[in-house]
Amino acid sequence: MKVTADRLHISGHYLLAVMSNIHLYAGGLSEISPSALLDDGAIDLWLFEGDTMADIIGRVVDLVSGKHVDSDKVRWVSFRELMLESDQPLYVHVDAEPMPYQECCIDIKVIPKHLRLLVPRETPRELFVRHHDHKVKSM
């Protein structure tokens, strides 16, 4: 797979590529992106290396235990524009739902502040940039 994230070029054999701008993954089973902010205009890309069933099991254990963050078999990149290219069709899921997509290339572009959401009051404020900006200004 070839990956271009902003101006960074990466290539390798990856079992899984996960894009997320939230902390939790797989229904809360794993905290995939501990430093993710919901409104920072960036998305985290996690690339999980491997070839064998043992590699798959190892990456799942790393992900569930939180060790993927420091694993040399997992790569993290934050991006605003992304292109994934593969020799084989890419199987895409959006919010855990399979999409009818059988292409070998996918382009993703973040459009900051384009989607407005109603957020429950009990949502932790540390998930947002404004909270972090406020903390920095008040020091």
For residue 13, the domain's CATH number is: 2.60.200.40
What is the spatial distance between Cα 128 and Cα 139, in angstroms, rounded to a whole number?
Answer: 18
List the alpha helices (DSSP H) in 49-139: 53-65, 129-137
Asked if 24 contacts 30 with a C-beta cutoff of 8 angstroms, the reply is yes
pLDDT of residue 68: 92
pLDDT in tens, 3-50: 999 999 999 999 889 898 887 777 777 788 888 888 888 999 999 999
Number of folded domains in the chain?
A: 1
Q: Which domain holds residue 77?
A: 2-137
Q: How far is CA 58 from CA 53, 69, 77, 91, in A?
A: 9, 13, 20, 21
Q: Rounded to two decimals, what is the model's pTM?
A: 0.82
Sign (positive/negative) of CA torsion 39, 31, 71, 20?
negative
**pLDDT band at residue 77, thresholds of 50, 70 and 90?**
very high
